Amino acid sequence: MTQRRVLMAPDGTLSTRRQCELLAVNRSSVYYEPVVPDAEELALMRRIDELHLQYPFFGSRMITQTVKAEGTVINRKRVQRLMRVMGLESTAPKPNTSTPAPDHPVYPYLLRGLTISRPNQAWATDITYIPMARGFAYLVAIIDWYSRRVLAWRLSNTLDTGFCLEALRDALTRFGRPTIFNTDQGSQFTARDFTSALLDRGIKISMDGKGRYLDNIFVERLWRSLKYEEIYLHAYDSLTEAREGIGRYFRFYNDARPHTSLGYQTPAAFYDSTLRSTAA
């Protein structure tokens, strides 16, 4: 039997290459150092984010015209580039979007017409852009569809599958497993590592239709609450500050912020009480 060679660094520790192999992490994400845009570009990206949050059906043409009308000199090509960097796209239907990449299968949407009547029946996830004072980040969160409770979240400066997988494993470890897990059709969620983590546990995968903004409406509402009640009120100087602020907000959201749709209970209290009642 051929033994696999373990690569060691000069100080006796595992080399970066071997650490990445063991953790199934792409080495490029370890060495990657993001280029921080200047203040003008960051302000523009924040404005694009605000417009996308308010008008998710706006494409690059409408965003360009809106920003121009506000007095900013900009062309559509620049808006398109920034939207790609931010991971944003219009929810308006597009032609020929139903054909998935050969190695990234797309699953049907399973929540349409389904009555969600208990915790852990369906979970949902999404990624959003987080503006900071000097740079930006990406946030992924997983929520319980029935109670709106935020089960897990992660912040990253790269838009890859790794931080989404970390959040998923965290949620599964702490809260068990759902019957259905709903995502959009982003490459982070259609990647083999992510879908396998669900299928191997017998979890049914559901994916939003292209241009179907309402398919994941509860996560979209979470983003709106988070950004208007926390993100846009603070200019985080670092990922550490952003994690602290977002963590503080999610604790408030789960444990202290009453929801009218939950009979003025908090998501955590509603999740726990209904989970106990359904288990009894």
Q: What's the confidence (pLDDT) of residue 277?
A: 85
Does residue 4 lie in a domain region? no
Mean pLDDT, to the nearest integer, of 124-133? Answer: 93
Domain boundary among 46, 72, 90: 90
Q: 21-25, 53-57, 171-175, 249-253: which has the minimum mean pLDDT?
A: 21-25
pLDDT tens digits, residue range 56-74? 888 899 999 999 999 999 9
Q: How many domains does the chain have?
A: 2
Q: Would 100 be classed as within a structural domain? A: no
Q: Do 134 and 269 sit in the same domain of this protein?
A: yes
If you average pLDDT over residues 196-225, what whole number do you get? 84
Name the token pair of 141: 């969160």
Q: Which residue has the higher pLDDT, 73 or 24?
A: 73
Final residue belonging to a domain, choices 90, 105, 135: 90
5 domain residue, yes or no = no
Q: Is the pLDDT of residue 9 over 90?
A: no
Is 274 contained in some domain? yes
Same domain, 171 and 274: yes
Spatial neighbors of 135 by CB under 8 A, at least 6 apart, are 34, 36, 37, 42, 157
* C-alpha pair distances (Å), 78 with each of 64, 75, 157: 9, 6, 21
Query: What is the domain extent for residue 245?
Result: 122-279
Residues 157 and 223 in one domain: yes
46 occurs within a structural domain: yes
Q: Tell whether 98 is covered by a domain.
A: no
Residue 226 predicted with pLDDT over 90:
yes
Count of residues in the chain: 280
What pLDDT does residue 212 have?
52
The per-residue pLDDT for 53 is 86
Q: Is the dihedral of CA 120, 122, 127, 133 positive or negative?
A: negative
Is 250 part of a structural domain of the chain? Answer: yes
pLDDT band at residue 174, thresholds of 50, 70 and 90? Answer: very high
Beta bridge partners of 181: 123, 205
End-to-end CA separation in angstroms for the chain: 53
Identify the band that residue 237 occupies on the pLDDT scale cut at 50, 70 and 90: very high
Residue 12: pLDDT band by 50, 70, 90 thresholds?
A: low
pLDDT at 95: 42
Given this model, what pLDDT does residue 96 score?
38
> Between 56 and 26, whose confidence is greater?
56
Say yes or no: 184 and 229 in one domain.
Answer: yes
pLDDT over 60 (residue 132): yes
Both 69 and 143 in a single domain? Answer: no
Residues contacting 88, CB < 8 A, separation 6+: 48, 49, 52, 129
CB-based contact 143:219 (threshold 8 Å): yes
In angstroms, the CA 62 to CA 208 distance is 23
Q: How high does pLDDT run on average in the chain?
A: 85
For 24, residues 6+ apart whose C-beta sits below 8 A from its C-beta are 193
> Do 170 and 241 have their domain in common?
yes
147 and 260 in a single domain? The answer is yes
- Domain end (from 66, 90, 114): 90
The verdict on residue 2 lying in a domain is no
Using a 10 angstrom Cβ sphere, with 0-12 exposed, 13-18 middle and 19 or more buried, the burial of residue 55 is middle
Instruction: Please compute the mean of the pLDDT values over residues 144-157 and round it to a whole number.
Output: 96
